[in-house]
A and B are shown apart, each in its own frame.
Chain A
Amino acid sequence: MSRKSSIIVLGSASISNNFSLPLVDIPVRAGFPSPADDYAEAKLELTEYLVQHPNATYYIRAIGDSMVDYGIFSGDLLIVDRSLDAKAGDVVIIAIDGELTCKKLSYIKGEPFLVSGNSLYPPIPLLGKEAHVWGVVIYNIHSLQGKCS
C-alpha cells in the first residue's frame, strides 16, 4: 500500500491583534500629510476603562428578565469584579444554596434582601439562607444593534 502525502504552501500571512484607537486632540482634515500626526497621544484601551482589577475580573452572561429595570437584559455581558466589597445598592453575583444569580443587594428595615429589577419578582430575604457574594457587577455591556427599531 502506498499513501503519500503532499503539502502545499499557500503563502505567508500577517495578522494584527491590535484593536485600540489613537487619541488625537485636534480635528483631522482629509489630505496628506496629516497635521494631526504630531498630536497622536496614548491609545484608548476600552478594557482599561472598564476593568480596574484584571486578575479579579470575570465576564458573565446574563440570562432572564428579572433585572430589566436596572438595564440588564437577557444575553447582556456583565463585567464582574471579585475584589470589591459588596455594599447596599450594588448589583451582585451571589451564590444562594449553591445556585448563582444576579440581583441588587438591599437592606429593608435593617435586614439584607436581594431585590429584582422587575416588579413581577418579590425581594428575596437573605436571613437564614446559605449565601455568599461571588462578585460585584461593575458594568453591563448591552448591544443596541437592531434592538431599537
Chain B
Amino acid sequence: MIGLIDCNNFYASCERVFNPKLEGRPVGILSNNDGCVIARSNEIKPLVPMGMPAYQIPPHIRKEVTLLSSNYELYGDMSRRVFDTVREHTSDLEIYSIDEAFIHLLGFDNTVEYCKRLRSIVKRDTGIPVSIGLSSTKTLAKIANHVAKKNPELEGICWLHAGEPRLEALLKQLPVGEVWGIGYKIAQRLEALGIKTAWQLRQSNLKRIRQHFSVVLERTVLELQGTPCIELDDMNTPKQNIMTSRSFGKITSNFYDLSEAIRAHSSKGAEKLRSQQSVARALMVFLKTNRFRNDLLQYNPSKLAQLPYPTNDTRVIVKTAHEALCSIFREDYLYHKAGVMMLDLIDKDVEQFDFFHAAQDTKEQIKSDRLMSTIDSINKKMGKNTIIIGGRTVNATWSLKRDFLSRRYTTRWNELLSVKL
C-alpha cells in the first residue's frame, strides 16, 4: 500500500497559519519578482487563473484578493515540519516535492483510520491541512489524492483499489495529460494516437507504448494497472545545464547593476554545480531588453565563453562571466533581464581523466575545492550570501522585487510572529 500525502494549497496554507485573517479568503502567491500568480487558495481559483501576471488582474478583483510575494524560507521550514511530523509516525517516507511525499504502509490493520489520525496530527502540530491518497502504486495514489481533494465528504482521505469498478469510471473521465509524469508534449502525442483518457492508456498495448515512447511511459501504464514500478530516483538525474537568470525589478542601462546581477547569477550557478558534484567547461552570459516594449530599442546579445579549465570555482566562473559581460554590454539600451548558463557539465570525478582538456594544477585544485566547500558550509550555516565574491548593493535593481512579503516567522529571530497581549 502506497500513500501520497499532499499539502492542500501549500503556500497559501503556510501564510494562513501565521495570519488567521486569511482563512476563507482568496489568497494568491506571486512568483519571484512579484510577476505572476503561481499558487492559489481554493477561494481565489474562480477569480484568478494560474500563471496570470499580477498587473493583468482587473482592479475590482485585485481589491477582493490578497496577493503575497513568495516566502520560500517560510515554506521550506513548514515543509520540513510537516514531513518530520509524518516521519515520527511512519519511517518509510519518500519526499517528492516541497508539498508532497509518498509513504509506504505495511502491516496496518486499519489504514484509513491510521491516515485520518496522521492527517489530524499534522494539522494540529503544523497548521497545514493535508490530503492522503491511497492505492497500490504511486501513479494511482496520485489519482486517489486528486479524488480526496475534489470531494470534501471524504475528509481528505481516498483509498482507491486497483481492481474496483469505481476506478474504471474515474480513469475514463481523467484526461491522459493529468496522469502523473505525462507532460504536455507526450499528452499531445498520445492523443494523436487516439489515447485520450487515463483509462485508454491503461488498456493500451505495452509493446506499442514502449516503441513509440519510452520505458518510463511503459512503467506509467503498468502503474495504472496496479503494478508498482516507479522509483523516485528515476526522476532525480543531475541537470545537464544550469541556468540562473532573473528579470530586473525595473529596466536599467547601468553597467554596475548588470555586472552585479551577473556576478550573483554566476556565483549561484557555481554553487549549484558544486551541490551536484559537476564542473562546467563553458558558460553563456546573456542580456535581454523587454520585447514587449515596442517603444524601446531591442538588443538581446549573448556570449559563450570557455572556462580556462573545467571548474566549479566561483572565482573563476565570476571572472569569466564578467569578461563576457564586458564584451557584450552596450550603453544605449535598457535591459530587462540578465542571466548566466553553465554549459557542458561533466561529473567532477570523470573530469580528472579527460585528457583533451586543460586541467587545473592539482595543488591549485585542492586549494580551490577546500575554499569552495568552506564557503558553501559557511553560507549553509550562517545564511545565504554570508560570503560572496565582490560587493553587493542592498535593494539593487537586479534583486528580487518582493513588495508583499510576509515575515520569515520560523527561521529569523527578528521576524517572529508577534502577538498582542
Contacts and interface: CB of A to CB of B under 8 A. Distances in A.
Interface of A: 1-5, 7, 9, 12-13, 15, 17, 53-56, 58-67, 72, 74, 77-78, 82-83, 93, 95, 98-103, 116, 134
Most-contacted residue by chain B among A55, A72, A99, A134 (CB, 10 A): A55
Contact of A82 (B124, B315, B329): B124
A1 B124 CA distance: 61
A61 B378 contact: no
B419 A55 contact: no
B416 interface: yes
Contact of B420 (A13, A58, A59, A63): A63
Contacts of B408: none
B322 A5 contact: yes
A65 B421 CA distance: 6
Given A5-B319, A13-B378, A17-B381, A55 B418 contact: no
A140 B51 CA distance: 43
B417 interface: yes
A119 to B, nearest CB: 14
B20 interface: yes
A56 B20 CA distance: 17
B259 A64 contact: no
Given A3-B255, A55-B81, A55-B125, 4 more contacts: A1-B329, A66-B421, A95-B20, A98-B23
B382 interface: yes
A122 to B, nearest CB: 15
Contact of A100 (B88, B374, B417): B417
B410 interface: yes
Given A3-B255, A5-B390, A13-B378, A60 B125 contact: no
B326 interface: yes
B81 A100 contact: no
Q: Label chain B's interface by main secondary structure.
A: helix
Contacts of B329: 1
B409 A58 contact: yes
Given A15-B382, A55-B126, A62 B416 contact: no
Interface string B102-121: 00000000000000000001
B389 interface: yes
Given A12-B371, A15-B382, A82-B124, A55 B84 contact: yes
B20 A98 contact: yes
A73 to B, nearest CB: 9
A97 B88 CA distance: 33
A45 B326 CA distance: 52
Interface of B: 20-21, 23, 81, 84-85, 88, 121, 124-127, 255, 259, 315, 318-319, 322-323, 326, 329, 370-371, 374, 378, 381-382, 389-390, 409-410, 413, 416-421
Contacts of B319: 5, 7
Contacts of A53: 125
A63 B363 CA distance: 57
A82 B122 CA distance: 10
B125 A83 contact: yes
B418 A101 contact: no
A60 B419 CA distance: 7
Nearest to A58: B410
Given A15-B382, A56-B85, A102 B421 contact: yes
A101 B419 contact: yes
B29 to A, nearest CB: 19
B420 A64 contact: yes
Contacts of B410: 58-59
A58 B413 CA distance: 11
A113 to B, nearest CB: 16
Contact of B417 (A15, A60, A66, A82): A60
Contact of B421 (A3, A13, A64, A82): A64
Contact of B374 (A12, A72, A83, A103): A12
A78 B418 CA distance: 10
Contact of A83 (B23, B124, B417, B420): B124
12 contacts: A1-B329, A5-B319, A5-B322, A55-B84, A55-B85, A55-B125, A60-B416, A62-B418, A74-B421, A95-B20, A101-B420, A103-B421
A116 B244 CA distance: 52
B419 to A, nearest CB: 5
Contacts of B416: 59-61, 77
Contacts of A95: 20
A84 to B, nearest CB: 9
A85 B419 CA distance: 20
B371 A60 contact: no
B318 A5 contact: yes
Contacts of B121: 83
Nearest to B82: A55
Given A7-B315, A58-B409, A95-B20, A63 B125 contact: no
Given A5-B390, A99-B20, A61 B419 contact: yes
Nearest to B24: A98
